[in-house]
Amino acid sequence: MRLTHRISVAALAAGLTLGLTACSAAPTDTAGTQPAATQSASIGADATEHNAADTEFAQMMIVHHQGAIEMAELAVAKASTNGVRSLGERIAAAQGPEIDVMSGWLDTWGQAQPADAEMDAMGHDGMDMGGLDQAQVMTELSGLSGTDFDQRFLERMIEHHEGAITMAEATKAEAVNADLIRFAGKVIDDQTSEITEMRNLLRSL
C-alpha cells in the first residue's frame, strides 16, 4: 500500500515554496525599499520560466523519487529494526508529495511526464546504485531478511541519495526556474541529513 499522503499539487507547491524561501517576499510597489538580495529571491516572478535543465531534472527526479519510495515501502514491510522501518516511512511520506510538485511543474511548462518522455535520451548520472539499476536493487533487497536486509537497504539508499544530490547540484548550476532551483537545494539538504542518519543506523546494527 502506498504510504504517501496525497495533497493537492497547488497547495503543496505553495507550502514548499514558502518553506524554502522564508526570507523572501513577493514583489510589491515598494520593492525598491527591499534589500537587493531579497528582491532577487522573490518568488513566482514567472512560474512558466524553464529550460532543458529544469525539464530534465523534474522528469528524472520524479523517476528517482519513485525508486526511493519503492525501496522505502519494502523497508517498511521487511525491516527488522524500528529505526530502518521509521526511515522508510518518512522517505515515502516526503517524496510522494514532492513527485506531485514536480509533475505539476511539467504540466505548467507543457512538458512530458516521465512515462511519456524519451528517458533513454537523457543523462543518467545519479540513477544507479553501486552499478545496479532500480530493478536489480529491488531483486537484491527482496531476497534478504533480518539484519542483512537492513544493512543492504541502508547501503543502497545511501547510494540512491548520493545520486539525487549529484543530480541536484548539477541542476542548480544550469536551471533557470527559481522554485526548482530552491527545490534542488532542499533535496541536497534533506538527503545529506538522511545520509548522516543512515550511516549512524548502519553503525548501530
What pLDDT does residue 22 have?
Answer: 38
> Does residue 125 lie in a domain region?
yes
**Which residue segment(s) compose the domain that 188 sits in?**
9-19+48-204
Q: Please give the torsion angle defined by the CA atoms of residues 40, 42, 43 and 44, in that order, rounded to the nearest 10 degrees.
A: -70
Q: Please, what is the Cα angle at 148 between 142 and 153, to 5 degrees?
A: 60
> Does residue 200 lie in a domain region?
yes
> Does residue 71 lie in a domain region?
yes
> Does residue 76 lie in a domain region?
yes
Here the cell at position 5 is 499522503
3-state secondary structure (DSSP) of residue 51: coil
What pLDDT does residue 37 have?
Answer: 31
| Domain total of the chain | 1
- Give the global pTM: 0.76
What is the CATH classification number for the domain harbouring 128? 1.20.1260.10
> Does residue 122 lie in a domain region?
yes
> Does residue 42 lie in a domain region?
no
> Does residue 37 lie in a domain region?
no
For the chain, list residues with pLDDT below 50. Answer: 1-15, 17-45, 119-123
> Does residue 29 lie in a domain region?
no
Residue of 54, 37, 44, 40 lying closest to 18 (CA atoms): 44
Q: Which residues pair with 129 in a beta bridge?
A: 132
Q: Are 201 and 154 in contact (CB under 8 A)?
A: yes
pLDDT, one tens digit per residue, over 48-66 is 999 999 999 999 999 999 9
Tally Cβ neighbours within 10 Å of residue 203: 7
